[in-house]
Structure 1
Amino acid sequence: MGNSHQSRFRSDFHIPYGTGQGSQESSTGTCFGPMTMPSVKYQRGEMVMGRWPGSSLYYEVKVLRYDASSQLYTVIYKDGTELELKEQDIKNAAGFQTRSRSRSRSRSPGRRRSRSRSPARTTRRSSSRTAAAVATAAITESAPTSRRDAKLKDTPEVRLSPLKQTKAAENNSNNKHEKKEEKQKEENNTANKVNESESKVEAESEKNQGRYNLRRRKDDGDAKALEIKPEKLEEKDAKLAAASAASLSSPLDFGGKMGAYFWLLFLPAWVLFLVLQVNLEDPSLANFPPLLPPFEAFWDAQALGFVILWVLFQVLLYILPVGKLSEGMPLRSGERLKYRTNGFFAIAVSAVAVVAAVHQGVDLTYIHSHFLQLATASLLISVLLSIYLYVRSRYAAPEQLALGGNSGNVVYDFFKGHELNPRIKDFDLKFFCEMRPGLIGWCLINFAMALAEMKEQSLNAPSYSMILVNLFQLLYVLDGLWNEEAILTTMDLMHDGFGFMLAFGDLVWVPFTYTLQAYYLVSHPNLLSLPALAAIVTLKLVGFYIFRKSNSEKNAFRRNPSDPKLSHLKTIPTATGKSLLVSGWWGVVRHPNYLGDLMMALAWSLPCGFSHLLPWHYMIYFIILLVHRDSRDMSECRRKYGSAWDEYCRTVRYRIIPRVY
């Protein structure tokens, strides 16, 4: 909706606009041992420096608890990793940096010299280590926990050999008669500069990453030096990080590989069943299954031409140099794509074109009478588009692939989407399909159903029920297109590949299942009293306010948490460096945008009455979708944010409905 109404099909066959983003970026309480336990040096919640297992590197961690029987501390690192450490592997954070510096400066020149190589070689090694840390951080950011740990363990340390020695080194090797005191003094100065350089580089690296680098650093004797030209360092590291991340795949959704086969067959069949069922004179479940019409009834060349013309018309409006060029969220490579966000302009021009067509005598009730053929044509286009997307993804660079659709299984990757942001030059296929032909087509179909009701029921104007359904859903779409930039922060755009799941959801599921209420009212009018009318309108407005307000709060906080305008918001810090919003509506329930969405969905269905279950399909589907989505959010956020997420859940107790669920 506001972020993508289409998005409603996604992640569980579309996450509602606001849903994919709706999930909070989301830390854990613990308890002490028995009263007879010995005195504990580090207390729960204390920030200390913990040694990463298998290395001599220390990182800032938070103490969660102490086990008296095993004498181990459970700590959590900044990336959410929880480990058990012995007391000797933990140091007090206060003064840790000072002691480290003083120890470095107090070392004798002899010790420092025996450990270091030439000044040039040491400096190169420092730069390389920083670059490797950046690459590793990119990998750990996208990898599942188990794979991330393996990557951290096995990541080699990259070193650079100097192309040429510094002038100081040449003088030291060529001038054999130089005084020993001068040589020692020069080496001392060089070593000090190197130490300072390493400190600055590492500090800058941690600052830029926004998280600690938890890679395992192998011992000097085991690490293999790689000869890399300095000027190619950044380019090589960027490619290494992107390729390594792209080679991984996130956990499989929707039943995995076997589930992909099921959904590929079930979803098209389900949409066709709904269209056949709603077309019955009595669409009761007692008449299930509906009679299957002859095969030729599914196909109409004119309907296919109509759908193609509609898509091409929306393409034309999308590529016009009208509207704002918006910047997307940073990708794994750090790149930020640009998008033409002129969706509101597109629906305004489309409305003018439709009104002009009706004025010229075009009979839009054709959409009602050929609903099945139009759905079949849209299904065919979505399948052809999905095949094209998968074929082109086979030639895409590794860094352009989506983690979720990179399983190696052809059917699963075809379903989930193999390439993250497929583009033809600057034309973004995924962004276009998310917000244009299906979403605006939804409004066109609803308008055609209103005309069909007037024709079939011999009315001079649409019924109140039809007017409410049209206005409510039009407001939903207009809000989404007016706030089109918000979709750039959704899971669809940031993480999901573009494959059959999104193509089918955008072009078939949204326009041909979200319009069932309007289609139902054409042949099954439902009279509304004035009190019922007022109650439904109030429900819609309250739901819309909650939906819009909560999404605005979240989008503003997600784009710039340090904005002074947001300084009054309450948050819970996490070990990843991000914070969880617990202010405004996000302090009432964990998914306030879901709550507003559900209220609006209820307002869409109530005008159809309670005679049949079919017009309530959207409401039923949406409840299942949101409950499933909430469950996935809970497990993912607990894994990602550890104890901070548990603290968040204690602070905000209810998931969607206050005091109920």
Structure 2
Amino acid sequence: MRNKKTAAREKSPIVVNEAPKNKSTPRKNRASQSLGRKTYQARSKSRSRKGVNSKTRGRSRSRSRPRPKSKSKSPQRKSRPRSRSRSISIKSPVRVSSRVKNQTDKLYEDNSSKETILKDVIRRSISRELSQSKTNSYRVASTSSVLSYLPETDTINPDNNYTKSILKENNYPKKKISFSFIIPQWIKIITGLFIPPSVVLFLHIICKYNNCYIDKLNQFPKLENYFNLHISGLIIGFVFLQIFFSLLPIGKIVYGPPGIHGILQYRCNGLLCTFLTVGVVAGMWKFELPVTTINENLIPCLTFTIILSYFLGFILFLKGGKAPVIGLNPLCIVENKFYQFYKGREINPLLFGKINVKVLLIRTCLNGMLLINGIMALKIYESKKELSYALTTNLVINSLLVFDFFWFENYFPTTFEAMYEGVGCLFVLKYFLYPFFTLLITKNIIIHNLEIPLWNVVLTGFLFVTGYIVHRASNLQKAVFRKNPLNPALSHLETMSTNRGKKLLVTGWWGWVRHPNYLGFIILHWAWASSSGFSHGLPYAVPLTITLLMMIRAKRVDEFCGTRYQSFWNEYCNRVPYKIFPRVY
């Protein structure tokens, strides 16, 4: 019997250490230490009602004198053992059940408040498991008796009025009703997964069948015109080609933020992948392989890309289900599986344990955008033996954007997207649709055979240089500061300390607006659209959409930083009141 109890205690995740028996301690005091005076009095009354009288047994319950030692062993009562004072300790690491985790998630959605309130949830779980345990020889009278043994300074009860006042003073998020929280999630999922692909596909259909005019569309392609096995094979081969080039052990290794495999390593060989990809396509064109056939099959290419995005999002969803907790996306610790599929379960998933999936998707996007625009320009050159100013300017801007990212690829691990964005179906769709969305500018130039004057080329160049300086200079300043805040090159900049031990730049580019890199990115796309002239409005749907998305993203980043830095971020917002556009937004 004794061995069974010992084995049961070892299996239990909660260790109950009994205090050493002190025979000189009065029986009443021992009981009052564990249960309290009120609980002891209640038990004594219940025994007296059952007929157990203290006078008949020769014991006085009202006195606190110790019993004299007796050599004769009196027969023990077959009653429940009395609770003694004990210390409760938890084995390290703490194994928190899914029930406790779900209870924490329902309390607060914010991560910082979860860490604070988790202690109280664990304490309540301890008391519940102790009181319901049958293998333990002791029982706990109530939850408050267990909580009384734990430090009161660490106990946070979210239902307490005092705690509510503390949470309100520290701007912690309030409890949310599950019904009001589920509706925005479903709206986000439906909007993000179906509306962008449908809009991009619709715009390409009107460009193919109606010369990029929306008001006179009178026909749609048949169902068989949406699919092409040859084009699907080319896309799959292109993706595997990017995976193979990324596995090459060539390029500088940089270290990113900590992940599920420790500190992640990034091999910066994106520029090598671009040159090798262009070389392969140039070789196919040299040997007269049907490379330019993609121009006539853009709709099947886009259709298969959308299907491939959903498929990769589902694969990443399944892969994230087996990932350790440290690598999960904090925004997806919810029971809604569709939201996890939408936002991504992991922050930095790895392929073959070496390739970062996030970096691989970005390389596939940029190299694909460069190839599609180049192949369309190559088709025009084969027929006319020359390129217009508009098409040449468009190709130069496209190429510079691609080469700029890969040249400064070693700074990507310090960006918000690399450290906090989840890799889900939304992330895959965003980067797989971007080449086709920006292709509308090139397609509009080719369909209408647009020519722009020299002053338009100068205006486009001026906008591009301005946007590039703002975008790249602000990103470099932030990356260098994060790498070494004590860098002498940044000694003239003013900083502000935060509660996380990090510092925020309050002068320089980041003292002008809160997100100068987003401002530069927006100007770059307006310059790109201006390369098609001002006679058609469809190309300007690209910079308008990018502007709207950057404004939404700036708001989301501000909310994230406000939760992370709390009052320090509010002080920074007071010093830098504008998010993207100075004096406007």
Instruction: Give TM-score, length-normalised by structure 1.
Output: 0.62
Residues 1:452 and 1:623: Cα distance change in structure 2 (over 3 Å): same
1:315 aligns with 2:282: no
1:464 aligns with 2:389: yes
- Counterpart of 1:601 in structure 2 is 525
Residues 1:294 and 1:600: Cα distance change in structure 2 (over 3 Å): same
Residues 1:253 and 1:636: Cα distance change in structure 2 (over 3 Å): farther
Deviation at 1:552, TM superposition (A): 0.1
1:351 aligns with 2:351: no
**Separation in 1, partners of 2:321, 2:282:** 43
Q: Which whole-Å deviations, capped at 9, do the CAs of 1:293-330 have from their partners, x for residues lacking one?
A: 11100000000011011111111111011112221112
Residues 1:431 and 1:291: Cα distance change in structure 2 (over 3 Å): same
1:477 aligns with 2:402: yes
- Tell me, yes or no, if the aligned pair for 1:540 and 1:603 is still in contact at 8 Å: yes
Deviation at 1:630, TM superposition (A): 2.1
Q: Which whole-Å deviations, capped at 9, do the CAs of 1:330-384 have from their partners, x for residues lacking one?
A: 24x6921112220011111222222222222234331211111111122222222
Q: Which whole-Å deviations, capped at 9, do the CAs of 1:529-572 have from their partners, x for residues lacking one?
A: 12221121121112111111100001111233233443332112
Query: 173, 184, 189: which is aligned to 1:260?
Result: 189
Residues 1:619 and 1:259: Cα distance change in structure 2 (over 3 Å): same
Q: Which whole-Å deviations, capped at 9, do the CAs of 1:376-431 have from their partners, x for residues lacking one?
A: 12222222222222223223333332222332212111111123333233233523
- Counterpart of 1:587 in structure 2 is 511
**Separation in 1, partners of 2:520, 2:580:** 9
**Separation in 2, partners of 1:473, 1:554:** 25
2:275 maps to amino acid = A
1:292 aligns with 2:209: no
Query: SS of the residue aligned with 2:514?
Result: coil
1:488 aligns with 2:413: yes
- Tell me, yes or no, if the aligned pair for 2:242 and 2:360 is still in contact at 8 Å: no
**Separation in 1, partners of 2:293, 2:200:** 19
- Counterpart of 2:346 in structure 1 is 419
Residues 1:392 and 1:638: Cα distance change in structure 2 (over 3 Å): closer
Give the stretch that moved more between structures: 395-404 or 494-503. Answer: 395-404
Query: SS of the residue aligned with 2:258?
Result: coil
Deviation at 1:528, TM superposition (A): 1.6
- Tell me, yes or no, if the aligned pair for 2:108 and 2:114 is still in contact at 8 Å: no
Specify the structure having the higher radius of gyration (Cα): 2
- Counterpart of 2:258 in structure 1 is 330
Q: Which whole-Å deviations, capped at 9, do the CAs of 1:574-628 have from their partners, x for residues lacking one?
A: 2332221123211222211112112111110012123332211210111111121
1:301 aligns with 2:226: no
Aligned positions, number = 448
Deviation at 1:492, TM superposition (A): 3.4
- Counterpart of 1:503 in structure 2 is 428
Q: How does 1:426-575 map to 2 (within 5 A)?
A: 426-455=353-382, 458-507=383-432, 509-575=433-499
1:282 aligns with 2:211: yes
**Separation in 2, partners of 1:560, 1:650:** 26
- Counterpart of 1:388 in structure 2 is 315
**Separation in 2, partners of 1:305, 1:367:** 12
- Tell me, yes or no, if the aligned pair for 2:349 and 2:358 is still in contact at 8 Å: no
Q: How does 1:36-75 map to 2 (within 5 A)?
A: none
Q: Which whole-Å deviations, capped at 9, do the CAs of 1:498-525 have from their partners, x for residues lacking one?
A: 2211122222x12211221112211112
- Tell me, yes or no, if the aligned pair for 1:546 and 1:593 is still in contact at 8 Å: yes
Q: How does 1:621-660 map to 2 (within 5 A)?
A: 621-660=545-584
- Tell me, yes or no, if the aligned pair for 2:351 and 2:357 is still in contact at 8 Å: no
**Separation in 1, partners of 2:292, 2:537:** 25
- Tell me, yes or no, if the aligned pair for 2:246 and 2:360 is still in contact at 8 Å: no
- Counterpart of 2:158 in structure 1 is none
Residues 1:385 and 1:334: Cα distance change in structure 2 (over 3 Å): closer
Q: Which whole-Å deviations, capped at 9, do the CAs of 1:244-263 have from their partners, x for residues lacking one?
A: xxxxxxx9899313421343
1:222 maps to amino acid = L
Deviation at 1:144, TM superposition (A): 3.5
Q: Which whole-Å deviations, capped at 9, do the CAs of 1:89-121 have from their partners, x for residues lacking one?
A: xxxxxxxxxxxxxxxxxxxxxxxxxxxxxxxxx
Residues 1:141 and 1:536: Cα distance change in structure 2 (over 3 Å): farther
**Separation in 1, partners of 2:371, 2:339:** 33
- Counterpart of 2:65 in structure 1 is none
**Separation in 2, partners of 1:374, 1:296:** 13
**Separation in 1, partners of 2:91, 2:490:** 37
1:479 maps to amino acid = D
Q: Which whole-Å deviations, capped at 9, do the CAs of 1:186-241 have from their partners, x for residues lacking one?
A: xxxxxxxxxxxxxxxxxxxxxxxxxxxxxxxx9772369xxxxxxxxxxxxxxxxx
- Counterpart of 2:118 in structure 1 is 151
- Tell me, yes or no, if the aligned pair for 1:260 and 1:411 is still in contact at 8 Å: yes
1:282 maps to amino acid = N
**Separation in 1, partners of 2:495, 2:91:** 36
1:431 maps to amino acid = K
Percent identical pairs in the alignment equals 29
- What runs of 5+ residues in structure 1 fail to find an aligned partner? 1-121, 160-217, 225-250
2:242 maps to amino acid = Q
Query: SS of the residue aligned with 1:340?
Result: strand
**Separation in 2, partners of 1:253, 1:270:** 26
Query: SS of the residue aligned with 2:331?
Result: coil
Query: SS of the residue aligned with 1:311?
Result: helix
**Separation in 1, partners of 2:92, 2:292:** 67
Give the stretch that moved more between structures: 359-368 or 297-306. Answer: 359-368
Query: 215, 222, 238: which is aligned to 2:150?
Result: 222
Deviation at 1:156, TM superposition (A): 5.1
Residues 1:653 and 1:438: Cα distance change in structure 2 (over 3 Å): same
Residues 1:608 and 1:254: Cα distance change in structure 2 (over 3 Å): farther
- Tell me, yes or no, if the aligned pair for 2:266 and 2:356 is still in contact at 8 Å: no
**Separation in 1, partners of 2:304, 2:261:** 39
**Separation in 2, partners of 1:443, 1:252:** 41
Query: SS of the residue aligned with 1:511?
Result: helix
**Separation in 2, partners of 1:254, 1:316:** 42
Query: SS of the residue aligned with 2:266?
Result: strand
**Separation in 2, partners of 1:472, 1:612:** 19
**Separation in 2, partners of 1:126, 1:272:** 57
2:206 maps to amino acid = Q
- Tell me, yes or no, if the aligned pair for 2:210 and 2:216 is still in contact at 8 Å: no
Q: How does 1:356-395 map to 2 (within 5 A)?
A: 356-395=283-322
- Tell me, yes or no, if the aligned pair for 2:226 and 2:303 is still in contact at 8 Å: yes
- Counterpart of 2:329 in structure 1 is 402
Query: SS of the residue aligned with 2:386?
Result: coil
- Tell me, yes or no, if the aligned pair for 1:453 and 1:459 is still in contact at 8 Å: yes
Deviation at 1:148, TM superposition (A): 4.3
- Tell me, yes or no, if the aligned pair for 2:246 and 2:355 is still in contact at 8 Å: no
2:220 maps to amino acid = L
- Tell me, yes or no, if the aligned pair for 2:111 and 2:330 is still in contact at 8 Å: no
Instruction: Give TM-score, length-normalised by structure 2.
Output: 0.69
Residues 1:530 and 1:261: Cα distance change in structure 2 (over 3 Å): closer
Query: SS of the residue aligned with 1:404?
Result: helix
Aligned-residue Cα RMSD (Å) equals 3.6
Residues 1:639 and 1:424: Cα distance change in structure 2 (over 3 Å): closer
Q: Which whole-Å deviations, capped at 9, do the CAs of 1:616-653 have from their partners, x for residues lacking one?
A: 12101111111212222333333333332233223223
**Separation in 2, partners of 1:648, 1:423:** 35
**Separation in 2, partners of 1:319, 1:615:** 37
